[in-house]
Structure 1
Amino acid sequence: MYYQLTSQQRSQIFALLQRRTPRKVIASIVGCSQSTLSREIKRNSTEKGNYLWSKAHDMAMARRKRSTSNRAKDPAIVWEALELLKEEDWSPEQISADMRRRGKPISHELIYRHIRDDESGLLASHCRHKMKYNRHGRPDRTTKVKNIPEWVNKQEPPFS
């Protein structure tokens, strides 16, 4: 499992580096791998190459804020986009472009994701193509392999 270093771990790293402790020992004391420790020191050292735990923690938190992978979209923006879909019958691409122009960026794929997640089908009914061209699902395909019993179709007769 993936864990991020805490400020306490960074302060331990700083103190152990000051004592010139080998990195292998530091990694075992802190409770992380040697590669994580090396990456931490390389990424969060100052320009002169010094590792200061408070600056290292600040740099890591700033990097985490810039990351978009876990950032949730503001529910008000999503609600506004879905309202435009329902009331104006605009395509998700039109909605995305209009909202970006107004300073409220939202991707058309996020709108499509909400349309696909809507179990009632109300949002899909407002799309021009009614979401009938679903490119995201893959049909179940049967295999042509006959020598593995678990892969054989149930319609075929058993082996002779």
Structure 2
Amino acid sequence: MHLLFGLVTCVLCFKIVDTFLQCTASTQSVKNVLHCPKNETEWTTAKTLKGCGTIQQNCSEFESLEYHCVPTEDEDVYVDLCAFPIMSHGGFCTEWNTGGETLQPSGNRSCTASSNPCPNSYLSNETYNYHICYKTNITEHSQMHGSNSTIRLQTRAILPMVLGVTISFLRFRYRR
């Protein structure tokens, strides 16, 4: 009986934690890449290879995952991923926040002061149009040793199980 309660608690904890975190289909698609596509032809090729439209997700029945390639918030690596497009406001580049596992406007990388400026608002999956967003200090070395998003994903999967087992243990111990 206690084992069954523990399993149910574990599943419920996972559902609750997963609800408050980002779409796992999106976060699981994040991969470090050496560079992002530089034009629409390269973008279309990368988009086809990534296959975002074929990824099964239950995060939204109204939107589909779209291909993105952006730098991380620390500008230490480029990542390509499948995510729901966001509206980048304020004339800022789009970036991947590794801690929050989400796309966001950069806040410190403006894309308005270039020969091909971005508009005040644009969809994140159109970032390839604004080359200034890819002018960073990213090197091949940082690409090889960069993001630890895999560790965060593993931690995210383990956390609900640990919570469930801990709650079950405490209930069993204090029932006696």
TM-score if structure 2 supplies the norm length?
0.28
> Which of the two has greater strand per residue?
2
Greater relative contact order: 1 or 2 (C-alpha under 8 angstroms, separation 6 or more)?
2
**Structure label with greater radius of gyration:** 1
> Which of the two has greater helix per residue?
1
